[in-house]
Amino acid sequence: MKKWSVAVFVAAAGLAFSAIPAQAAPTDIAPLPEPTTPSRVKDTTRTILVTFDQSQQDPKASAEAAVAEIAEAVAGASVASVQTINKTTVAVTLDSEISEFEADNIQARAEDVAGVKAVDPATIFYPADTDYETSLWNINAAMGRYSVAADAAWGTTTGAGVVVGVLDTGITEHGDLDANVIAGYDFISNSASARDGDGRDADPTDEGDLSGIAQDGTKTSSWHGTHVSGTIAALRNGSGVAGVAPDAKIEPLRVLGAGGGTEADLIAAIDWATGYSGTNPNPVDVLNLSLGSQDGRPCSYAMQAAINRAAAKRIPMVVAAGNSNVALSKSSPANCKNVISVTASTYTGGKASYSNYGTAAMPATIAAPGGSDTPTSCPGIIGECGWVASTWNRGTTTPGGSWYGFMAGTSMAAPHVAGVAALLKAKNPSWGPAQIAAAMRGSANRMPSCTAVTCGTGVVNAPKALTVTKFFTWKKNPSISGKYKVGKKLTAKVGSWSPQPTQFSYQWLRDGKVISGATKSKYKLVKKDKKKKISIQVTVFGPVGYAYRIAVSSSHKIK
């Protein structure tokens, strides 16, 4: 299977800001296998079709004689069965699979046999449309504990009536997505970057971003916006993939072209999408930004102002944390206030190695499936459970036919959260960003080895989020009492909450990382703690309908 290596790069020098797709770099983009049963099509066969010049008195014997000796010599395979198809064509099946090279060799030699017109390795055919939905590890509840479990939420809502703005590379035509795509806009002001011969216009078609490098060294395009859009709202139609919110609408907002995108274009797109400026006939309900900067700068005043304007309109803004395995404070707009920052999780619920992470000064909001940085096969799953499958395009530099592909990154994680936000918006239209975030954070599947600060409260879970109707508030943060010295015992104080929680759970942290087994209200300091910073993470639970709430105390250095 051909793979395209991706080298993501920033815009030309001189621009004040550059945004890039927040997929893992480097990683691979790969098309899904052609429609198959759960295992991939192999370039092997067991059956050889032998066609004669004319009818044979004993076609089975003639066909076996034409193939048997050659197959044994070329591949060490013996004839297992022979079946007559018609008067001139016979299928000879061998007792073991032969490779494409061996089949070609047998074909060339057998066609020299007197009376043989043609010899063909038999092809295996499958239904023209294959439904990958049931094997999507990131979407389907049955595929594992750390999926979004969106299919279990569709009995409540599928996101109908919600518009999700996707600020990305634009979009390409796709039969599994077109019905959910509404009019968007191309905000790329530089015609060379846009690759469409002009500046801003009403056509958000992705003309190709030339962000990848193929194995032969030529440039390729990522079709990033199409992949992201499919994760949010690919149709649930019994064919291909399905999105988290399969009845939500996608408004494509093209801000990334060849060389990335500028902050000016991004802000313009946010303001148009939310109805603050311009004449957008369909203002968005949710925004997805699977992009980020690489310059380490803080959130700019202008960007923060645009985000605040969206928040004032009660529009949640979902932003990829970034893929440099550094603090998300170094990637804008993930480091802006009033955003839902999303880290990437793997099939097993761990933090993806490339994913940026939160810190005490700037915690991450939540995690979602982004895939690992290496492909992994899992039983019952078509393709890879290490990557995320979604809608894609067959083109290399410019758009081609529609297909499906695998990608990995926080770019792939963010649209899962945007999709769940769309489900929540459909059920609770009056909710704003804070309530949307609290519902997702307070119902997430907690990760076994990552804290609420580093990865967010856990992996977003759609059906659990939809059960949330009430929220805790805290008046006083958790704290620690005791002497901060090795050998001494510390005690957690849960703080003050409203209403009073019915249950608490504890997790002690060393330099912000989980201390294995330290899950009681008291903790005795050990030698490993010396010169480290200790804190307590407290989770509070309430009656049915309440989101759980996590808070972390200040840290204390141990003597």
Q: Which of 193, 411, 443, 555 is catalytic?
A: 411
Q: In which residue are the tokens 């999507």 written?
A: 136
User: How far from 435 is each of 78, 456, 465, 480, CA to CA, in Å?
Assistant: 67, 16, 11, 29
Residues in a beta bridge with 5: 28, 213
What are 57's two structure tokens? 């008195």
Beta strands in 336-398 (DSSP E): 340-345, 366-369, 388-393
Alpha-carbon span 340 to 288, nearest angstrom: 10
CB 382 within 8 A of CB 401: no
Is 53 part of the annotated catalytic residue set?
Answer: no
Classify residue 351 by its DSSP letter. B
Is 411 part of the annotated catalytic residue set?
Answer: yes
Cα angle: 85, vertex 88, 92; to 5 degrees:
50
Q: Which of 174, 224, 227, 416 is catalytic?
A: 224
Alpha-carbon span 351 to 346, nearest angstrom: 6
Q: Which of 168, 206, 247, 285 is catalytic?
A: 168
How many C-alpha atoms does 331 have within 13 Å on its Cβ side?
32
Among residues 94, 115, 88, the alpha carbon closest in space to that of 106 is found at 94
Q: What letters, b where the CB count within 10 A reaches 16 and e where it falls short, cover 428-461?
A: beebbbebbbbbbbbbbbbbeebbbbbbbbbbbb
How distant is the alpha carbon of residue 541 from its chain centre? 30
Alpha-carbon span 555 to 478, nearest angstrom: 11
Helix then strand then coil, % of the chain, to nearest 5: 20, 30, 50
What are 293's two structure tokens? 């900067």
Mind telling me the catalytic residues?
Answer: 168, 224, 411
